[in-house]
Structure 1
């Protein structure tokens, strides 16, 4: 049996996160950061986010905004920090069978849900089955973060759970630390989908509970005074320091920033990159939370018109000047992407040479693909058809409009016309799922690079919409499976991860652009906001200077 590594206390990473708006709240005024390193208990944090959409069933809570509320209410079996270390949390320990097919978890004793019920092995097993298999009768889909190899969980004792996989997947343990793989009470799980989706029915084990809400506008959480089972990844034990957290939805970037600077809120999520240096110079806490996952990238669909030719996709790959994107849209805190995954991710390999800006090579690729004629407007033509592509913005990435506008200028220099279409939270998913969509930006998070199998595998999410049964697809799936079957930290895993990244770049299924961060800005009197490996904030250790 391979045992879980034991690691004790880690000082919580200071990452500022909090944004809050007014509407009946008392916001903190900005002040000089305290030199007193001793946290104080009490106070209210007002945190502003761009949106607070409805739909709180766990598998529906996987977005940047709702997740900031969710992480205060619901906890996971393990915690993965921003260096990739896996810590015990609701599971005190675990073991893995030598064949990688069985995991056994010992559950922390004495944990209770906010509805007063106990966390037992039976409840954990039920949660894991809903996450790994879904609940067909209730219309609940399985979690895309849990490996497809998941078969079942069984309570083998009051606090012992055994999980069976159909095949080895070394990303399974880390996937249990994903914020939307949390443990919910039996009463919550027993509700129909539409009632699970109501926030007032969510009973988790977290250090805060729901006090009140105005749906879509404001959510107030209050501290649980009986909380006492924090992971050793955090810097204290017992109840949270903050008495309350107020989340407020403020959709416009300028309005959120104005609320912060006027003292109406304590912290905000998302600020335009052009504002970051000014805010830092003025004494605000500007936190760039790196995360494991893919960079901001353009997904190219090999079945879509024109980009079905790999040479066109490769021309786009080297026809984009990533450093100009950084210099124009961002600032020196941001970096050009150097691979198909972010540099912060374990398993990253440097492919910056393959991504180097080379318009001459791009031109040669397009001419090899038959786009040899250039019209009076500078756009290439083949068989009477202009080399015109359509790209869509993403509502989940607040700089994609500016990025695409600059990319359109760059691609025009090699004879590609890029038309930009807007999407919103309603239309994005439909556009992203369409095989005819040629280019669309995205950025994915994961706690282990093996999760790329869930994102990119043809039998899973199949983000590139590769045709099932094709020889190239089978080779691609085999590369992803090799990553999942190798242990983190081994040379085998490093080699397998490198092979996947190299193939993704060579086939130009993805065009990496910018290594992404979650940016939070807080007033100077807000301290010790912790973010995990996927940039989500935890306010358990957070406190405010008096």
Structure 2
């Protein structure tokens, strides 16, 4: 099927993954592991969340119609097989029989239909999942194990989007009965069940003893580990200390400062991949001064020395970002860095002068008697904080005062969606280039992730074309045009793309590592002493 041809390309571009060493010991059922989280998710309702941390947890609690194997290829999930019509509009999924939700209800065709209908309900205002079905024409259920999805237009990304954990099938009746509380303990069908959420502290998942429908790359039957505890530890130094003390058995993100020491130690197995996304970018609210002027936005891009950020903040464990996509994503434009504005303080000052910003007392830039001063909204993440301080110093040398205001990540997201800020830091991880729809299409202003609040019909048309054409070369050229437009309008000042390092304790065996660096724990178990 043509839709599957592009899936594995990002894998070829990504940094090689280092899998934990195998153990001769037989897997043992039981035990608890603790996994460190830098921030708390907004919700664990797959159809309401917009955060990557929620997506990561949902990998262990949810199931999708199709999945990706560790190499990034689309394989069977809840659907044992599927066919696609010649015109690319009709997808027929045959479901695995006997699948149950965590509450014991049957996960059959009717349940899948109800889940999809909830995802597209305009009252739900789903920030991500609704976009996966934006071309939906109908969902029908010829029998209890068959789901037929018809689209209005072909979608080259439909199967790939269905493999995202935020497309997990939810028990729609439970969601309706408990309302907003569903996000605290969603009823799904995965190998673990969300049993408790202590706000600001930890989220506990219990083993699903009835799980018997996992993907082909894991053992048949329930997971071995009895409990997964996701502990919220914003401070990276505290995470490392907890890991070394064996209070935490897995780190989803190893800070750059600690990679070398963990690599040389014998108490960790590290896994590495280039982030499938942009680790940090400064995003402008294009509706508010002074960033409603494209010349000012371009000037900020030229005033930031990205190479210095990569060296100081990432310890050279990453690359400068040049646009909205990462080299690890299919669709990345290889000439983005040569096309994007370069670090050039003189050219930046000339642009600012054209925009009316002239040197005043103390070399502070002024316009109409007012100094160039703005507030950057950010989250208390170590690499973000350090980057903010460096960017602040770079802009200050050019006569711009940047204040820094930190918010917990969920609050940051709410404020930026509402357009309260002038500019903010943000980052993303996403499996494909369709992130441009979520971040830049007019449909996603206020309700989705169009946090620059930029609306442009030409850009919308390009994004729509990228989502509906199935021709590989046309899609690639369209993604190039999209990246050029975003760079031309300087909607972001892209900063860096980090190498993702995760770490597990040596006694945690059987861990597999996915193409995107995520940990697959279905086969994981704790080695006996």
- Give 3-state SS (helix, strand or coil) of 1:427's partner: helix
- Give 3-state SS (helix, strand or coil) of 2:425's partner: strand
- Give 3-state SS (helix, strand or coil) of 1:41's partner: coil
Q: Which one of the candidate residues 386, 405, 430 is aligned to 2:371?
A: 386
CA distance, structure 1, for counterparts of residue 361 and residue 80 of structure 2: 68
Alignment of 1:94-243 (within 5 A): 94-133=82-121, 136=123, 140-147=124-131, 148-185=134-171, 187-199=173-185, 202-210=186-194, 214=198, 216-232=200-216, 234-243=217-226
Q: Which one of the candidate residues 468, 475, 482 is aligned to 1:485?
A: 468
**Displacement after TM superposition at 1:79 (Å):** 1.6
Flag the structure with higher helix content.
2
CA distance, structure 2, for counterparts of residue 533 and residue 151 of structure 1: 32
CA distance, structure 2, for counterparts of residue 426 and residue 228 of structure 1: 35
Count of aligned residue pairs for this structure pair: 512
Give the equivalent residue in structure 2 for 1:70: 58
CA RMSD of aligned residues (A): 3.1
Cα distance 1:129–1:38, how it changes in 2: closer, same or farther (>3 A)? farther
CA distance, structure 2, for counterparts of residue 527 and residue 535 of structure 1: 17
Q: Which one of the candidate residues 510, 514, 521 is aligned to 2:503?
A: 521
Give the equivalent residue in structure 2 for 1:444: 428
- Give 3-state SS (helix, strand or coil) of 2:258's partner: helix
- Give 3-state SS (helix, strand or coil) of 2:325's partner: coil
**Does the Cα contact within 8 Å between 2:256 and 2:317 map onto a contact in 1?**
no
- Give 3-state SS (helix, strand or coil) of 2:166's partner: coil
Give the equivalent residue in structure 2 for 1:410: 394
Alignment of 1:324-403 (within 5 A): 324-350=308-334, 351-353=336-338, 354-371=340-357, 373-395=358-380, 397-403=381-387
Cα distance 1:500–1:529, how it changes in 2: closer, same or farther (>3 A)? farther
CA distance, structure 2, for counterparts of residue 295 and residue 112 of structure 1: 37
Give the equivalent residue in structure 2 for 1:305: 289
Cα distance 1:367–1:230, how it changes in 2: closer, same or farther (>3 A)? same
**Does the Cα contact within 8 Å between 1:14 and 1:527 map onto a contact in 2?**
no
- Give 3-state SS (helix, strand or coil) of 2:463's partner: helix
Cα distance 1:329–1:346, how it changes in 2: closer, same or farther (>3 A)? same
- Give 3-state SS (helix, strand or coil) of 2:47's partner: helix
**Does the Cα contact within 8 Å between 2:118 and 2:172 map onto a contact in 1?**
no
**Does the Cα contact within 8 Å between 1:319 and 1:358 map onto a contact in 2?**
yes
Give the equivalent residue in structure 1 for 2:485: 503
Q: Which one of the candidate residues 23, 33, 48 is aligned to 1:36?
A: 23
CA distance, structure 2, for counterparts of residue 526 and residue 312 of structure 1: 51
CA distance, structure 2, for counterparts of residue 59 and residue 398 of structure 1: 29
CA distance, structure 1, for counterparts of residue 478 and residue 93 of structure 2: 28
The yes-or-no answer on 1:263 pairing with 2:246 is yes
Cα distance 1:219–1:370, how it changes in 2: closer, same or farther (>3 A)? closer
Q: Which runs of 5+ in 2 are unaligned?
A: none
**TM-score (structure 1 length as normaliser):** 0.84
**Does the Cα contact within 8 Å between 1:432 and 1:440 map onto a contact in 2?**
yes
**Displacement after TM superposition at 1:407 (Å):** 0.9
Give the equivalent residue in structure 2 for 1:27: none
CA distance, structure 1, for counterparts of residue 305 and residue 478 of structure 2: 28
Deviates more, 1:457-466 or 1:202-211: 202-211
**TM-score (structure 2 length as normaliser):** 0.87
Could you list the per-position Cα deviations for residues 345-394 of structure 1 after superposition, in whole angstroms to 9, with x for gaps in the alignment?
111113112243222322232233233x3234232223323222321113
- Give 3-state SS (helix, strand or coil) of 2:57's partner: helix
**Displacement after TM superposition at 1:262 (Å):** 1.3
**Displacement after TM superposition at 1:530 (Å):** 4.2
Could you list the per-position Cα deviations for residues 304-339 of structure 1 after superposition, in whole angstroms to 9, with x for gaps in the alignment?
202222111111122211110011111232222133
Could you list the per-position Cα deviations for residues 178-206 of structure 1 after superposition, in whole angstroms to 9, with x for gaps in the alignment?
2121112355344231442342xx33221
Could you list the per-position Cα deviations for residues 3-55 of structure 1 after superposition, in whole angstroms to 9, with x for gaps in the alignment?
868x99x9xx9778xxxxxxxxxxxxxxxx86635662334322232455684
